[in-house]
Amino acid sequence: MAVEKGEALDWYRKMVLIRRFEEQAEGEYGKGRIGGFLHLYIGEEAIAVGAMAALDPDDDVFTHYRDHGYLLARDIDPKAVMAELFGKSTGVSKGRGGSMHMADVQRHLWGGYAIVGGHIPLAAGMAFANRYLGRSSVVACFLGEGGTNIGTFYAGLNLAAVWKLPLVVIVENNHYAMGSPVERVSAVREIYRKACAFDMPGVQVDGNDVLAVRNVVRERVAVARAGGGPQLIEALTYRFRGHSMGDPQRYRTREEVETAKAGDPIIRWRHAILEGGLATEGDLRKSEAAVEADVDEAIRYALDSPAPEAGEIDRDVLVAEERGHG
Amino acid sequence: MAETTYRDAIRGALLEEMRRDERVLVLGEEVGVWGGSYAVTRGLHEEFGSRRIIDTPIAEAEFVGAAVGMAMGGLRPVVELMTINFALVAMDQIVNNAAKIHYMFGGQIRVPMVMRMAAGWGQLGATHSQTFEGWFAHVPGLIVVMPATPYDAKGLLKSAIRSDNPVVFIEHSRLYGMKGEVPEGEYLLPFGESDIKRQGKDVTIVTWSRMLQVSLAAAETLTKEGIECEVIDLRTLRPLDMAPVFASVEKTHRALVVEEGWTTAGMGAEIAARISRERFDSLDAPVERLGQIEVPVPYAKNLEALMFPDEARVVEAVRKLVA
Ligand SMILES: Cc1ncc(C[n+]2csc(CCOP(=O)(O)OP(=O)(O)O)c2C)c(N)n1
């Protein structure tokens, strides 16, 4: 396997971090400490972790609202992510964004966007700016397969293709858009084939295999960076939890979910590490324990952090205009 | 001072700002070789080339969204939406992205962009003759500019391009050929400063964009009857500068809002509410509003002519107010 021990363990730790972070967040939601919508990424961790491993730190990232995993995979402090869920001033978006709208510009993570497909043109624009200003950064844009049925996907990718932008679009096909299975809402079931409409490369990858994701994303990013234009990747995965909290999941059977869990990306990577002799059971346990402590600390931090001051409510609506011109 | 058309004043602002700042670029449908559907960008492609004058596919949501992304990435895009009607296609990008990103992510990101679009009409039928600036003015996070003169258009567009905020800049197709004084040198005009375009003591007319010209013509007629109208041009609809309006109403005790769009839930309703709320004791009559007839705009010339406030209707409304 073309992975070093350190890398292998890092990916494992990040996937477990996302898993434990969200399991705990789910519990906190039940206690009423987190409000609104909370879309869990559980079962899909290998995509964020594999993709971030393939990107340079100053490559730019845009995501949809199921976004906690990308922030954690990008080494953004779990404390600030949890604090955002708690609506605290120490959150990544200062408590103004919540679960669906998290950004950390220092880490080139330009935000979770909650209008399906609405961020695709933004990602294209960022890619344009990068090229225009002579930056070599590539933009990665994540979305769900349901988001490939809205106009911004088609016209956005067309724009990116016409302008040959350094953009990699990664569609996480978790098979359901809320309760709609792919075949009910998409005339084309293999999402990667939609790339042909833009004469753009489209590839499919096992999204539950973190190494495969890393490799495919790395390859596509290299092409985009070299001026090969936008690339489309479909990563096949499965959402183990409901769409958001309180989803009775009438659209699928328990058996189907249990069967899918056999392909759990974390368990798979654990086996791969042990089989490949990349690390020992002890190493993995140690990593799990460290994650446990990090998540506990994140919750404590979020609880202890102050809520935004009432006076913050009208800050940052507009940037102050420079007065006195003219 | 030189006489310049509204169109040339806008082009002049674009030209000056593009020469001044490499990060400024123009994108939209047919803005390049064609020169813009109202010829506003004519000549820019020759000077700046396809790198900075960018023709887009017919995809308003996507090229406005791309401009938001460009702005986030450090550029200062000026998007041209052929007409305000097509902005409807991009409404999600304007309202959910451009207007929200600075606030929603805790002030981390700025979106310095301008969205130019033309309101107006001219036997274009229901889908191509609209004026709904109030839809944009409703949204916190946007700046909304709607200039009535070449001078204001140039100074305000230059400020819009230099602003770090998303600015909706609404031009008017029937003003493009209008001439006015524009100084040679550089100048900028600030947002949120209403301008008294004519002084008077009897009635306050509050207006903006093309209705300013209609209101000024009406004021000219009324002066012959001994009625002196004070005509205030709002120029920017968000932020809204009501101070000169309030001061005027204290003097005239009567106010008429003249707008080109539908009055129901329109911009004029906001103006009337603010005057009534803030200067209730100064008013001798309810604030009056004049706008277009509440139907989709028809094609037939005679019907279309009935649609919008004209000089005669403004004159009549003022006469009633002072009666
Ligand atoms: C334009 C728009 N329409 C509807 C919604 C409501 N909505 C939120 S998520 C969702 C399903 C999206 O599914 P998919 O794109 O596959 O992503 P997933 O949630 O599976 O990650 C819908 C319909 C929305 N947020 N935006």
B43 shares a domain with B22: yes
B148 touches chain A (CB under 8 A): no
Q: Are residues B61 and B120 in the same domain?
A: yes
**Both B270 and B309 in a single domain?**
yes
**Nearest 10 degrees: Cα torsion B127, B132, B133, B137:** -130
Which helix (DSSP H) or strand (DSSP E) does residue B261 occupy? strand B255-262
CB A185 within 8 A of CB A217: no
By alpha-carbon position, which residue is closest to atom 17 of ligand 1? A144
Helix, strand, or coil here: B75?
coil
* B119 — pLDDT class (breaks 50, 70, 90): very high
Extract the tokens encoding A7. 């890398």
Cβ(A41)–Cβ(A22) under 8 Å? yes
CB-CB neighbors (< 8 A) of A125 in chain B: 65-73, 77
A152 closest CB neighbour out of B65, B67, B70: B65
CA of A178 to the centre of ligand 1 (A): 7
Residues B89 and B143 in one domain: yes
Domain-terminating residue out of B131, B154, B182: B182
Q: What pLDDT score was predicted for residue A1?
A: 62
Do residues B199 and B281 share a domain? Answer: yes
Q: Is B45 a catalytic residue?
A: no
Contact status of B156 with chain A (Cβ, < 8 Å): no
Q: Are B20 and B52 in the same domain?
A: yes
- For B1-44, the pLDDT digits (tens) are 789 999 999 999 999 999 999 999 999 999 999 999 999 999 99
CB A322 within 8 A of CB A110: no
Q: Flag whether residue B69 sits within 8 Å of chain A, measured between CB atoms.
A: yes
Residue B248 above 70 pLDDT? yes
- Cα dihedral B126/B239/B286/B304 (nearest 10): -20
**How far is B208 from chain A, CA to nearest CA, in Å?**
21
Compute the distance from residue B300 Cα to the ligand 1 centre, in Å.
Answer: 44
Single-letter code of the amino acid located at A134: G
Does any domain span residue B93?
yes
Query: Quick one: which atom of ligand 1 is closest to the CA of A145?
Result: 16
Distance from residue B134's CA to the centre of ligand 1 (Å): 29
For Cα atoms A85, A27, A263, give the angle at the middle one, nearest 5 degrees.
Answer: 100
Range of the domain at B20: 2-182
Q: Which residue of A93, A120, A321 is in closest CB contact with B106?
A: A93
The CATH code of the domain that includes B221 is 3.40.50.920
Pairing of β B195-198 and β B229-233: antiparallel
Q: Dump pLDDT digits (tens) for B195-204.
A: 999 999 999 9
Inter-chain CB proximity A92 and B93 less than 8 Å: no
Which of ligand 1's atoms lies nearest the C-alpha of A244?
A: 19
Interface test with B, best of A116, A314, A317 (most B CBs within 10 A): A317
- In this structure, is residue A321 part of a structural domain? no
Does pLDDT of B97 surpass 60? yes
Q: Retrieve residue A88's tokens.
A: 């605290």
Give phi and psi for B76, each to the nearest 5: -130, 75
Mean pLDDT, contiguous 10-residue spans, chain A (326 residues): 91 98 98 97 98 98 98 98 98 98 98 98 98 98 98 98 98 98 97 98 98 98 98 98 95 97 98 96 98 98 98 96 63
Per-residue pLDDT tens over the stretch B70-91: 999 999 999 999 999 999 999 9
Q: Can you tell me whether residue B200 is helix, strand or coil?
A: coil
Nearest-CA distance B237 → chain A (Å): 15
Q: Is B13 on the interface with A (CB under 8 A)?
A: no
Known catalytic residue at B102: no
B69 vs A103, A125, A151: nearest CB: A125
The residue whose CB lies within 8 Å of the most ligand 1 atoms, and thus the one to mutate among A116, A180, A244, is A116
User: Which of A81, A122, A316 should one mutate to test binding to chain B, selecting the residue with the greatest count of B CBs within 10 A?
Assistant: A122
Which single residue is written with the structure tokens 């929200």? B100
Q: Supply the pLDDT for residue B2.
A: 87
The first and second tokens of residue B49, run together, are 């080339």
Query: How many angstroms separate the CA of residue A208 from the nearest CA in chain B?
Result: 30
Please list every protein residue whose CB sits less than 6 Å from any atom of ligand 1: A 66, 114-116, 143-147, 174, 176-178, 243
Residues 183-242 of B with CB under 8 A from A: 187-191
Query: How buried is residue B164: exposed, middle or buried, by Cβ count under 10 Å (0-12/13-18/19+)?
Result: middle
CA pair distance A122, A289, nearest whole angstrom = 39
Chain B environment of A156 (Cβ under 8 Å): 59, 62, 65-66
Same domain (yes/no): B172, B230: no
Same structural domain, B252 and B156: no
Structural domain includes residue A297: yes
Domains in chain A: how many in total? 1
Task: Report which ligand 1 atom has the smallest distance to the Cα of A150.
Answer: 1
Give the ipTM.
0.96
Closest-approach residue (CA) in chain A for B164:
A319
For A288, other C-beta atoms within 10 Å of its C-beta total 18
- Kindly state whether residue B190 falls inside one of the protein's structural domains: no
- Evaluate if pTM is beyond 0.80: yes
Which residues form the domain of A16? 5-254+270-307
| Total domains present in chain B | 2
Rounded to the nearest angstrom, the distance between the alpha carbon of A147 and the centre of ligand 1 is 7
> In this complex, is the C-beta atom of B67 within 8 Å of any C-beta atom belonging to chain A?
yes
> Is B187 a domain residue?
no
Is the separation of the CB atoms in A131 and B73 below 8 Å?
no
Q: Please provide the size of chain B in residues.
A: 323
Query: What is residue A323's predicted lDDT score, i.e. its pLDDT?
Result: 67
Q: Look at residue B189 and tell me if it is in a domain.
A: no
CATH number of the domain where residue A56 is located:
3.40.50.970
The reply to whether B246 and B131 lie within a common domain is no
Of B182, B207, B231, which residue constitutes the final position of a domain? B182
Q: CA of B71, closest CA in chain A: separation in Å?
A: 8
Span B165-192, pLDDT tens digits? 999 999 999 999 999 999 999 999 999 9
Q: Which of B62, B140, B155 sits opposite A155 (nearest CB)?
A: B62
CA distance B41 to B8: 9
Residue among A62, A109, A116, A128 with most chain B CBs within 10 A, to mutate? A128
Does B155 lie at the interface with A, CB-CB under 8 angstroms?
yes
> Partners of B54 in the beta sheet?
B27
Same structural domain, B87 and B212: no
A315 found inside a domain: no
Is B84 within 8 Å of B118 (Cβ atoms)?
yes
Please state, as a whole number, how many other Cβ atoms lie within 10 Å of the Cβ of residue A183: 10
Q: Of B182, B209, B241, which marks where a domain is finished?
A: B182
- Sequence-distant (≥ 6) Cβ neighbours of residue A32 within 8 angstroms: none
* Domain co-membership, B178 together with B208: no
Residue A322 lies in a domain: no
Residues B121 and B168 in one domain: yes
